[in-house]
Chain A
Amino acid sequence: MTKAIQTGPAPARTEGTDNREGGHGAAVRVDGVGIRFGSFHAVDGITLDIAAGEFLCLLGPSGCGKSTLLSALAGFVRPFEGALTVDGQPVTGPDPDLGMVFQSSEALFDWLTVRQNVAFGPRMRGRSRAEQSELADEYLGLVGLRHCADRFPGQLSGGMRQRVQIARVLANQPRVVLMDEPFGALDAQTRQVMQEEMARIWQASGCTVVFVTHDIEEAILLADRVAVMTAGPAASVKSVYPVDLPRPRDEDDPAALDLRRSLRQDIGEEVRKALRDQGLDEGPDQGLDQGLDPEETS
């Protein structure tokens, strides 16, 4: 069984995955961060070191404060205590270096074309028109949407809209990309395609990625390391697992079995704890155990 390793930076990748161009990702440090909304403690005492260029998944049950932590990393929410730094610089507010891909494609600007959406960041930074559309086309090409450049977001499917969001963030050439369950609202087939593309896009871009999800398979498919969070309120990091699997990854890789089991067990414990806190537990050996873990019970 893969034992949890607490917080240290990821071990250097050795499986030939370092053929990425950029390498302009930034190291992110989360140091004893607590976030409160009034008297509600959303997140408490989180410490995480994320290496430059690493793909880190924050995995946890719904409502555990993953997104809250991500909002703080993006500079939308100020932590109550602790420090957030990117390459040693404290996060003080929204920053083009910290790109955010939102869960809902509501975040796209419906009145702008796909190309104008993607060119938004460069436009805000005063790039010339030619540079804007050049960048937009480059990143739309990366997500395979150049043929949709002149359409409006409302005319695209859910999966395409999320790809526009990803291209829009990448066109700003951020050093860290924060992703809040970006494929959560997509159907299973589309989600799978998007996950494969995400792995490719990340390798091509060289960014550091912090990816929030509640999907264990998604985390195993994408992450260098998976940080499991405890159930909220006052959520913290329960355990951190490295994912030592070669890329491109295969869903059916038998080497992932142990990891999958450990992650399931950790999440299962947290879900049960949350249900117990809500007074909904059905007893220690019922329902959830089987629902979450068919392999272990057989």
Chain B
Amino acid sequence: MTTVTVAAPPKPRAERRAVRGLRAAGLYTVSVLVGLGVWQLLALHYGPSLVASPHETLTAAGDLAADGTLTNSIIASSRRILIGWGLGLLVGVPAGLLVGQIKVVRQLLEPYIEFFRFIPPVAFVTLAVVWLGIGESSKVVLIFYTSVFIVILNTSAGVMSVGESKLRAAASLGASRGQILRGIVLPSTVPHIVTGARLAMGNSFLTIVSAEIVAAQVGLGSLIWTSRNYGRIDWVFVGIITLGILGFVFDRVLRIAASRVLRRYGVKL
């Protein structure tokens, strides 16, 4: 990393990339430091009963990590998100392919998709607990609910935007209907599926806090809700900041994994 830029005009490509990378890292650092500064000022102004300072938050995080609460919360919430979101993809992708490909299926499902799309998961929290109990399934189902429609919508939009000439070319080269679905429709829809998966991941993070409102023993959402009962503003801060960092990490991993797959499709994320 010690690529000191000497004044040699035609810089090699790797070096230029390293310089660009350092620049980006530098700006990121500046941005984060300014944010921390503003946070510190607000904390000084309003006092610890309203705003926990960065230092207090860090101390609280240390305490919570020491007794295992923080780690358990992260694991519990991540598990719910990954299972619910994964099920959403597992159901949403094939359903989206069918919706996009077969007109009858589209016409049968469209009213429901359009209906439930506008009902936020938090509206179903009560029903989920009443129907499914206070165990894991009620939370996973809410995450699934918030993921599946957006995946279906994006996948079917992708299927419907496959170029007519590609489908015709495949047919006249001798591909059957099934071969066209697997060999043409699915791969040209992959970029749309990835977009759907990323949006669904975002939705899952929005939903996890409301899913853990009622009767969750562990989880970042439940950490935030129970801290309120104890009046521990610093714990609330720990929960919120951990959620943000966790979401950022999940999206990054998803993006890196997807861009590996998508590079050959000419898609940049």
Contacts and interface: CB of A to CB of B under 8 A. Distances in A.
Interface stretch (B143-151, B173-181, B214-222): B173-181
B266 interface: yes
A168 B169 CA distance: 10
Nearest to A155: B266
B174 A125 contact: yes
A239 interface: no
A96 B170 CA distance: 10
12 contacts: A76-B172, A99-B172, A106-B165, A107-B163, A107-B166, A107-B169, A111-B265, A120-B175, A121-B173, A124-B173, A124-B175, A154-B266
A124 B172 contact: no
Chain B CB within 10 Å, residue with most, of A93, A109, A125, A169: A109
Contacts of B264: 111, 152
A96 B173 contact: yes
B146 to A, nearest CB: 30
Interface residues of B, number: 21
Interface of B: 163, 165-166, 168-176, 179, 183-184, 187-188, 190, 264-266
B85 to A, nearest CB: 25
B163 A94 contact: no
Contact of A107 (B165, B179, B183): B165
A95 B172 contact: yes
Given A74-B168, A95-B174, A120-B175, 5 more contacts: A94-B172, A107-B168, A110-B266, A120-B173, A168-B169
Contacts of B168: 74, 76, 94, 100, 102, 107
User: Chain B: interface secondary structure?
Assistant: helix
A75 interface: yes
B179 A104 contact: no
Interface string A84-110: 000000000111101110101011111
Contacts of B175: 120, 124
Contacts of B165: 102, 104, 106-107
A156 to B, nearest CB: 12
Interface string A137-160: 000000000000000101000000
A129 B140 CA distance: 44
A124 B188 contact: no
Contacts of B187: 109, 111
A93 B177 CA distance: 13
A114 to B, nearest CB: 13
Question: Which 8 pairs show the lowest CB-CB distances between chains A and B?
Answer: A94-B171, A96-B174, A107-B165, A121-B173, A94-B172, A124-B174, A107-B169, A111-B187
A107 B173 CA distance: 12
A76 B170 CA distance: 12
B173 A168 contact: yes
A168 B187 CA distance: 19
B266 A121 contact: no
A100 B266 contact: no
Nearest to A125: B174
A120 B183 CA distance: 10
A172 interface: yes
A110 B265 contact: yes
A99 B179 CA distance: 18
A211 B186 CA distance: 32
A142 B173 CA distance: 19
Given A100-B169, A124-B179, A154-B266, A111 B174 contact: no
